[in-house]
Structure 1
């Protein structure tokens, strides 16, 4: 079974009415490389994924399977909050965060902060 990203990259490209050769012309991504992504042979790095999603006008969250809405995007307020977020201090804990309409407790926010720090540390 192919990974979600492979199926969705191919679906997005075909819905955009683009061939792999046309994608190469727009992005410079080799069509052989693109074929590898669409067949689950290789995974695009984040920058490449972003370029493809921008071209196809879909979200990275949709390609990665985090949402079923291909065009979901952050609101201006959400984008502003993300850009201001500093995980190096505890200001994150002062945010009003909710999941499914329920506000997170202080302990839950601390767990989210710890997980975010761990994930970002592994990315370096």
Structure 2
């Protein structure tokens, strides 16, 4: 399975009905290099990813899989949360999470974890 950035870079280019040559002509990114990104053989650096996202009109958060909305930027707090939370890992249960000024109990974290999995599966169609 290709990395999410590869799938999304290819998807958005095709959705916009652009060829790799058209992307090359507008961005200066070699079409063979772009092909490597779309196949997941190579990973674009920050500057290259920014150029592609700007050209395609999508956010880097979407390309990298941090959000399912291609046009919505995450706040810094949301990015931090994504970086530290893994819903498939026990670290979520062991982590320090606060709501309304108090730390969540283990049971509340388990319920939140279950609800988040249901919600995310529904949003992504899994």
1:18-71, Cα deviation, whole Å (9 max, x unpaired): 100000000000000000000000000000000000111111000000000011
**Residue of structure 2 equivalent to 1:66:** 66
Q: CA–CA distance in 2 between the matches of 1:7 and 1:50?
A: 16
**Residue of structure 2 equivalent to 1:23:** 23
> Quick one: structure 1 residues 102 and 34, their matched pair in 2 at CA, closer, same or farther if it must change by over 3 Å?
same
| Runs of 4+ deviating beyond 3 Å | 101-105
**Residue of structure 2 equivalent to 1:98:** none
- Residue-pair matches, total: 82
Deviation at 1:16, TM superposition (A): 1.5
Q: CA–CA distance in 2 between the matches of 1:68 and 1:62?
A: 6
**Residue of structure 2 equivalent to 1:41:** 41
Structure 2 unaligned regions, length at least 5? 77-97, 103-126
Q: CA RMSD in A?
A: 2.3
Deviation at 1:104, TM superposition (A): 7.5
Q: CA–CA distance in 1 between the matches of 2:8 and 2:46?
A: 15
**Residue of structure 2 equivalent to 1:53:** 53
Q: CA–CA distance in 1 between the matches of 2:70 and 2:9?
A: 11
3-state SS of paired residue (1:68): coil
Q: What is the TM-score normalised by the length of structure 1?
A: 0.60
Q: What is the TM-score normalised by the length of structure 2?
A: 0.59
3-state SS of paired residue (1:70): coil
Structure 1 unaligned regions, length at least 5? 80-100, 106-124
**Residue of structure 1 equivalent to 2:121:** none
